[in-house]
Structure 1
């Protein structure tokens, strides 16, 4: 039963969140790109002379080495039990003591306590199956073994009228229950599908951002050695980072597709099963009522046997959806409390490997720092070389620069890593490469500008590569830090808790109520089918000439 509950009963939240969202979290080493890139710009020398000068060399250690460890960054966090009040239930595996471990999908005691909430319904299903089955068995035995008693019962107008009245009432109740069940399953399917689409969208957003950032890193490696070079160890580091990013993106994309396809099939199968149950029960009630009214006693008894089995299965399904409703509510409460207690140790820690806030902030700080330094690299080239009118004697920096001065690149951060607004005359990451194309000159075979311009195609390509990497760090760095410290997952959980959970709880409750109404109404209807058929038979026999069996005194019908 526990295995069934894990795979079937809690798919609205657990499958959608637990399957996908842990993959969105990064360990610190995956994000250790911020300080690993070292650029050196080469200014072309006349007449093929191979002289290079490093204007700026950005060397940083890996963030995993710089950032403080979780134990150093923060003190030991206190433990917090998720959904403690909701999950305080009896645990049949622990002597029916109250379970106090809170929401924890890895604990068999949690599942046992959730499953035990449906124990009364499972007991009702078992009692119904046994008692009504024995009743049918003895009724058939009496009918076959004592044929002379078939016409020996008096007819009661009151019993006949009441049986007909209750038959009509519970038939209507069963029809209403079928309508509630059908509408509930439709809304439930829409709600779970909406939640699934949201989580899949978040996963796809992550995949897209990871690949975009990987592409920005790859752009730096497309430059030839004589234009901008990276030390061999830094190139290996970029390769390692790209491998990790691409591997994570591919794994997440694969898991998203596999899990989403499986969950969609599960949702569709559950929807189809509920529709079939609603349709079959509605048909059963209609035919049972019709056959009872028409006096087709043999068909009524056949439907009673079929209904006996269907009601047993429907009551069991009521228990399953009660477990589903409780598990869904538990999960929604647990997600909401996890979002409100970001530093506490909870049962989600082993599922979502988040780093502490101090480590994540250090990662973001280093990302900003490298972005700031790389923008300075580009601006030093512009201000100290491109926008200077050197004389030909300064062959190291002279390549016949001329024309309007180039705008500098807007640095999004101040020296203390605070946000900075762009000033007039600066270009930002979005339009820098387009604007700078207007300042590129044509060069001769000796590498000197032969037309008006401030930069050669070689320097422009180097600057474009630096802008690409800077843009990647600036634009995607905060997002990757959100993955690292689980704030992205917390935002996702918060959205699900606020916008998706109310619908999931409401419509799973509708399905449960519909199943209860249908099973209860059909259960009672089966009894009144038999009672009404019996009273109708007695009424029919009371109108026929009655032959007194030998040795019996006559009885008058009322």
Structure 2
């Protein structure tokens, strides 16, 4: 078969695969949502919950609406529009469950979005395999026939060389795009996972600090005042609850991060290998075609046939990965609009603490902090600031001088917030202020200089204040953990700082991978076309030179 006649067919063959592997895959998700019947869209608009698509009977929700009881038994669907895809597990009906990585139907629908790329890989493998088999049969059948004269077209030769150069350049550009963006994508994933782990570990560390502070309450004492039994029992209960819940965010975040890394690392290695092999194959094919080494070209065509098939399969897999990343980012944005709703996102990665546990822990920390302050102030009032006679026994410390200021208790008796008075000192400067009232003591522990606090009493008071401040400062953390505002801030940071880069780099990585696969596919065909044109050109020049030589010899005779 003459190559000049087969060239238009080969070009159409390339255009078919290029369009099917890029435009169809990228437009599949956008087109599916527009296939929703008009009546269904109108019904959704008329629904009171149009802006908050809900599934009844799946948990709690605090989304506002007219029917409060119905809302309390419903859950928010995350990324409902973005995940509206065909589900092959449900007779190709549209999937309506939203973002939920634990749902097999979600994975089936998102995987089906890459079906055009998988179909392209199969069609390419079958058609080029059939073409190679027919070419071998033609060569075997025609090898015994008399050799026909070749036609030679300079335009076809120049075009084949131009297209081969362009396809090789496209492979190079695709490999560069693929390498740069997959590195950026991997770094973005790593930074985001590190951020989530830091947040999870901060929860764990704050819990441990609260436990240490509560445990040290029984150890610190001022003038050997015992801890009340009811407060001690409450601290023990809170310790048990914290032990049961403190490891949850840390362990869940670490487990989810490990699962993502287990998928990410092989994918990153595969992309690097694909880029390197495809680039090496393209340059070898261009070199062997330019040199006219036929046997090496046939070997490279077979390798390219297999590698392009694998590359399109990898394109489909990465398109699924890109869609999952985009779905997750949209799900984060949806959850941020309804953070109190019971959605799958809020129950993973950084789960909110049970509100009852948070409130009981907060109550215990306030009571304990207030109790320690009251103990210290009681010692100041009844011992340090009193001018006791030597007959007072152990309470006599020869204390004298100006009175020691009281420590400000930030809580009233009902644990509500109160403002400090001017005569009180606060947590920020209490140690420095009380240092002014410390005296030097004798061997018996009696003050020898002006002052009202012995070094031992000062150390005990500052130790109690440190524990009290530690418990007081944990209050905001417990409030944020109880009302999920801590998780809300975390996901807001992810949405603003990490999601744009993740979506951008995952999309560009996918585009670079498609560029490489499609360009190597075109190069595989153009290797054969250019090699054939080069062989025809070389044979035609020999015929012309031989005819010119015979004509010259005939003229001399």
| Compared CA separation, residues 214 and 256, structure 1 to 2 (3 A) | same
The CA deviation at 1:296 is 0.8
Report Cα offsets for 1:311-330 as digits up to 9, x if no partner.
11111111111111111111
Q: Is the 8 A contact 1:356 1:485 kept in 2?
A: no
Q: Give TM-score scaled by structure 2 length.
A: 0.75
Tell me the residue number matched to 1:466.
464
Q: Distance in 2 between matches of 1:102 and 1:503?
A: 23
Q: Distance in 2 between matches of 1:172 and 1:150?
A: 39
| Compared CA separation, residues 153 and 527, structure 1 to 2 (3 A) | farther
Tell me the residue number matched to 2:6.
none
Tell me the residue number matched to 2:278.
281
| 1:219 counterpart (216, 220, 231) | 216
Q: Which runs of 5+ in 1 are unaligned?
A: 1-68, 547-558
Q: Distance in 1 between matches of 2:397 and 2:243?
A: 41
The CA deviation at 1:291 is 0.9
| Compared CA separation, residues 404 and 269, structure 1 to 2 (3 A) | farther
SS of the residue corresponding to residue 439 of structure 1 reads coil
Q: Is the 8 A contact 1:83 1:103 kept in 2?
A: yes
| Compared CA separation, residues 102 and 250, structure 1 to 2 (3 A) | closer
Tell me the residue number matched to 1:12.
none
| 1:135 counterpart (131, 137, 154) | 131
The CA deviation at 1:365 is 6.2
Q: Is the 8 A contact 2:241 2:357 kept in 1?
A: no
Deviates more, 1:420-429 or 1:193-202: 420-429
| 2:294 counterpart (281, 290, 297) | 297
Tell me the residue number matched to 1:203.
200
The CA deviation at 1:298 is 0.8
Tell me the residue number matched to 2:342.
345
Deviates more, 1:98-107 or 1:346-355: 346-355
Q: Distance in 2 between matches of 1:436 and 1:318?
A: 69
SS of the residue corresponding to residue 75 of structure 2 reads coil
Written as runs of structure 1 = structure 2, the 5 A alignment for 1:322-333 is 322-333=319-330
The CA deviation at 1:154 is 3.7
| Compared CA separation, residues 172 and 506, structure 1 to 2 (3 A) | same
Q: Is the 8 A contact 2:156 2:533 kept in 1?
A: yes
Tell me the residue number matched to 1:104.
100
Written as runs of structure 1 = structure 2, the 5 A alignment for 1:394-433 is 398-413=396-411, 422-433=420-431
| Compared CA separation, residues 486 and 394, structure 1 to 2 (3 A) | same
Tell me the residue number matched to 1:61.
none
Tell me the residue number matched to 1:189.
186
| Compared CA separation, residues 153 and 83, structure 1 to 2 (3 A) | farther
Q: Distance in 1 between matches of 2:456 and 2:242?
A: 29
| 1:486 counterpart (476, 484, 490) | 484
Deviates more, 1:131-140 or 1:204-213: 204-213
| Compared CA separation, residues 101 and 263, structure 1 to 2 (3 A) | closer
Q: Distance in 2 between matches of 1:165 and 1:383?
A: 96
Q: Is the 8 A contact 2:353 2:481 kept in 1?
A: no
Q: Which runs of 5+ in 2 are unaligned?
A: 1-59, 63-67, 545-557
Q: Distance in 2 between matches of 1:112 and 1:397?
A: 78
| Compared CA separation, residues 414 and 151, structure 1 to 2 (3 A) | farther
The CA deviation at 1:412 is 3.2
Q: Distance in 1 between matches of 2:255 and 2:98?
A: 30
Q: Is the 8 A contact 1:151 1:541 kept in 2?
A: no
SS of the residue corresponding to residue 79 of structure 1 reads strand
Q: Distance in 2 between matches of 1:257 and 1:81?
A: 25
Tell me the residue number matched to 1:176.
173
Q: Distance in 2 between matches of 1:243 and 1:225?
A: 27
| Compared CA separation, residues 233 and 70, structure 1 to 2 (3 A) | farther
| 2:503 counterpart (502, 505, 519) | 505
Tell me the residue number matched to 1:477.
475
Q: Is the 8 A contact 1:220 1:468 kept in 2?
A: no
Report Cα offsets for 1:482-519 as digits up to 9, x if no partner.
23333212211110011100000000011000001111
Q: Is the 8 A contact 1:160 1:532 kept in 2?
A: yes
Q: Distance in 1 between matches of 2:258 and 2:101?
A: 22
Q: Distance in 2 between matches of 1:420 and 1:262?
A: 48
Tell me the residue number matched to 1:439.
437
Written as runs of structure 1 = structure 2, the 5 A alignment for 1:17-416 is 77=72, 78-148=74-144, 151-152=147-148, 154-157=150-153, 158-223=155-220, 227-230=224-227, 235=232, 238=235, 241-242=238-239, 245=242, 267-348=264-345, 350-351=347-348, 354=352, 364=362, 367-368=365-366, 370-391=368-389, 398-413=396-411
Q: Is the 8 A contact 1:441 1:453 kept in 2?
A: yes
The CA deviation at 1:99 is 0.7
Q: Distance in 1 between matches of 2:378 and 2:168?
A: 85
Report Cα offsets for 1:411-470 as digits up to 9, x if no partner.
334667665555545333244345434434566787765554323455445433432332
Q: Distance in 2 between matches of 1:404 and 1:301?
A: 101
Q: Is the 8 A contact 1:281 1:518 kept in 2?
A: yes
Report Cα offsets for 1:349-368 as digits up to 9, x if no partner.
54365367798567646644
Q: Is the 8 A contact 2:222 2:457 kept in 1?
A: no
The CA deviation at 1:79 is 2.6
Deviates more, 1:355-364 or 1:96-105: 355-364
| Compared CA separation, residues 150 and 396, structure 1 to 2 (3 A) | farther
| Compared CA separation, residues 520 and 505, structure 1 to 2 (3 A) | same
Tell me the residue number matched to 2:4.
none
Q: Give TM-score scaled by structure 1 length.
A: 0.75
| Compared CA separation, residues 242 and 457, structure 1 to 2 (3 A) | farther
Deviates more, 1:498-507 or 1:450-459: 450-459
Q: Distance in 1 between matches of 2:476 and 2:84?
A: 39
Deviates more, 1:349-358 or 1:504-513: 349-358
Q: Distance in 1 between matches of 2:146 and 2:416?
A: 95
Q: Distance in 2 between matches of 1:257 and 1:356?
A: 20
Structure (1/2) with the larger helix percentage: 2
Q: Distance in 2 between matches of 1:420 and 1:145?
A: 101
| Compared CA separation, residues 348 and 210, structure 1 to 2 (3 A) | same
Report Cα offsets for 1:112-143 as digits up to 9, x if no partner.
11111101111111111122122222222322
